[in-house]
């Protein structure tokens, strides 16, 4: 059986294989809940898409700083509405 393929943005086909899971998460979680969630999932890339931009930027900086202090290089992005990541 051949793997399904998707069309890349550059117009080439690429084999497609992934799993999708559901993880309940509140968009209104505080710093501790967000930090614990990141640690439990062991992720290294976070995209903040909800909330006041000043508060989200403050959260982004604190997450990066605190994870760096435990030797984890966390990438934390805050895209504008409609921006591709």
- The reply to whether 50 belongs to the active site is no
Q: Which two tokens stand for residue 18?
A: 């992934």
Q: Given the residues 1, 4, 27, 28, select the one marked as catalytic.
A: 28
Interatomic CA distance for residues 31 and 62, integer angstroms: 9
In order of 1, 67, 75, 84, the CA distances from 56 in angstroms are: 45, 16, 14, 18
Active site residues per annotation: 28
């Amino acid at each position: 059986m051949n793997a399904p393929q998707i069309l890349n943005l550059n117009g080439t086909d690429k084999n497609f294989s992934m799993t999708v899971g559901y993880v309940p998460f509140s968009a209104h979680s505080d710093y501790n809940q967000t930090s614990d969630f990141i640690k439990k999932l062991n992720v290294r890339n976070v995209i903040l898409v909800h909330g006041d931009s000043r508060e989200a930027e403050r959260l982004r900086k604190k997450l990066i700083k605190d994870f760096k202090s435990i030797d984890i290089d966390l990438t934390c992005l805050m895209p504008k509405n409609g921006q591709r990541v």
